[in-house]
């Protein structure tokens, strides 16, 4: 029974971190909302910037001893999600 209590306590902390991550994604979205207004439709995908972000994250993940593929996969998914979000913005507003 002690392990179950410990697992539940850890899961409570994981749930708190998940909410923190969600709050950070909300902040990121608000910044994307601002930047998309300054872009043209052709500027939505900035591959040079994407490559720079991913390279920087690879280095930071290694420093933190995190699996770089997992971190890269998460960020690529998030970046692609925001690209689709920006595309919908242009479809709706132009």
Give the pTM.
0.87
The answer on 91 and 50 residing in a single domain is yes
The answer on 20 and 32 residing in a single domain is yes
**What range does the domain containing 83 cover?**
41-94
The answer on 80 and 62 residing in a single domain is yes
- CA torsion angle for 31, 35, 36, 38 (degrees, to 10)? 160
pLDDT at 19: 98
In the chain, the number of structural domains is 2
Reported as a single tens digit per residue, the pLDDT across 24-83 is 999 999 999 999 999 999 999 999 999 999 999 999 999 999 999 999 999 999 999 999
The answer on 89 and 48 residing in a single domain is yes
Compute φ and ψ for 29, nearest 5 degrees. Answer: -60, -40
The answer on 84 and 54 residing in a single domain is yes
The answer on 88 and 52 residing in a single domain is yes
Helical residues (DSSP H) of 1-94, grouped into ranges: 2-36, 47-63, 68-93
């Amino acid at each position: 029974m002690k392990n179950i209590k410990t697992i539940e306590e850890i899961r409570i902390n994981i749930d708190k971190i998940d909410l923190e991550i969600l709050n950070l994604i909300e902040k990121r979205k608000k910044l994307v909302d601002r930047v998309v207004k300054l872009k043209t439709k052709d500027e939505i995908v900035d591959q040079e910037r994407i490559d720079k972000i991913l390279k920087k994250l690879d280095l930071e993940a290694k420093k933190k001893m995190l699996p770089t593929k997992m971190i890269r996969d998460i960020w690529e998914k998030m970046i692609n999600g925001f690209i689709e979000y920006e595309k919908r913005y242009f479809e709706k507003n132009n």
